[in-house]
Amino acid sequence: MIKSFAQMQNESNFREQNCKYFNFKDDNGSLIRKRSGFVTFSDQPSLSTIIAERERERERSRRVRKMEVGFLGLGIMGKAMSMNLLKNGFKVTVWNRTLSKCDELVEHGASVCETPAEVIKKCKYTIAMLSDPSAALSVVFDKDGVLEQICEGKGYIDMSTVDAETSVKINEAITGKGGRFVEGPVSGSKKPAEDGQLIILAAGDKALFEESIPAFDVLGKKSFFLGQVGNGAKMKLIVNMIMGSMMNAFSEGLVLADKSGLSSNTLLDILDLGAMTNPMFKGKGPSMNKSSYPPAFPLKHQQKDMRLALALGDENAVSMPVAAAANEAFKKARSLGLGDLDFSAVIEAIKFSRE
């Protein structure tokens, strides 16, 4: 089929090369546009697309190099996240309650401060990744904490998993001093944190959220902005409530298969082929069958999230018997001393209750 030039221009892979246009009039005085050069069809991006993409990348690097980011809390997640920022060109200043945990980051180029207040003083943007509400509050409100130095022009981004009430309290204190606040809890564990594949559930100051995008793009694969402070915390707790409940049903299934004389490895294969296939069963199942629970997401934090999600259920009069039962199993596992292991160790509490 012979296509007109106009038709060709509408094709998504249309490319012009060395084209020049000449305008002249025909015998009737009508304006005619003639083109020299040639046209190709290609799946490769056009030169102008490549140039625009390079310019965007240069602009992103310029913004990143200018961004001095503070990082408070170098646990499993904080270490991986701050390392990612460093590897991607950010200037990073770290603090951790146990200061020795800063050493590895310093070896990779980070600066270190001795208090959260010093980090805030030094950096325009500071991210926190702390264990729970009491840690998040303590780092902000205690002596040498964030509040001592936060002021106009500074942004504080708390990515810890906490309840909405804690987040709102922190927001009020930060904004009361002229600072800006975003909560940004994350879905995804140690490996996604190492690979920059987290899902960021942000809420709060929209302008600060937008300024944080270069960092969020390095830390995660997708950032959601969910509106007012508290919405990020609530969304995260709901996600983890579902995850904790699923982990319990999964554990019960593995134990039941075993006790019924079936292979729990075969159960994994069957689950993986059907409608319930998911990265969590696939990733954790084989090690659970070997009673191995290297901590990616510590069980004590999963139980904290179940507790906070159940409180959110109370507030909203939502009956959650499945989540409540899952919480009991995580509590049992904690009482057995399994709190620092991965949350998949809840299967041990299920085995224990059946012995």
Choose one: 107-115, 146-154, 184-192, 261-269; the region binding ligand NDP (CB under 6 A).
184-192
Per-residue contact string for residues 277-316; x = within reach of ligand O=CCCC(=O)O by CB under 6 A: --------------------x-------------------
In sequence order, which residues have a C-beta less than 8 Å from that of residue 161 and are 6 or more positions away? 132, 185, 233, 236, 237, 240, 301, 304, 305, 308
Q: Strands 31-41 and 14-25, how do they pair?
A: antiparallel
Choose one: 62-70, 93-101, 221-229, 254-262; the region binding ligand NDP (CB under 6 A).
93-101
Residue nearest to ligand NDP (CB): 75
Per-residue contact string for residues 72-91; x = within reach of ligand NDP by CB under 6 A: -xxxxxx-------------
Question: 166: number of CA atoms within 13 Å, CB side?
Answer: 27
The answer to whether residue 78 forms part of the interface with ligand O=CCCC(=O)O (CB under 6 A) is no
Which of 138, 175, 197, 265: binder of ligand NDP (CB under 6 A)? 138
The answer to whether residue 240 forms part of the interface with ligand O=CCCC(=O)O (CB under 6 A) is yes
Task: Read off φ and ψ for residue 298, nearest 5 degrees.
Answer: -60, 140
The answer to whether residue 110 forms part of the interface with ligand NDP (CB under 6 A) is no
CB of 6 to ligand NDP, least distance (A): 52
Site for ligand NDP in 144-183 (CB under 6 A): 160-161
The gap from C-alpha 122 to its chain's centroid, in whole angstroms, comes to: 25
Q: Token match 């990082």: residue?
A: 71
Give the pair of three-digit tokens for residue 199: 């899902």
The residues that are catalytic are 236
The answer to whether residue 135 forms part of the interface with ligand NDP (CB under 6 A) is yes
Would you list the DSSP string of 109-161? T-EE-SSHHHHHHH-SEEEE--SSHHHHHHHHHSTTSGGGT--TT-EEEE-S-
Whether the CB-CB separation of 201 and 209 falls below 8 Å is answered with: no
In angstroms, the CA 295 to CA 229 distance is 30
* Cβ proximity to ligand O=CCCC(=O)O, 135 vs 174, nearer residue: 135
Q: By the criterion CB under 6 A, which residues form the site for ligand O=CCCC(=O)O? A: 161, 187-189, 240, 297
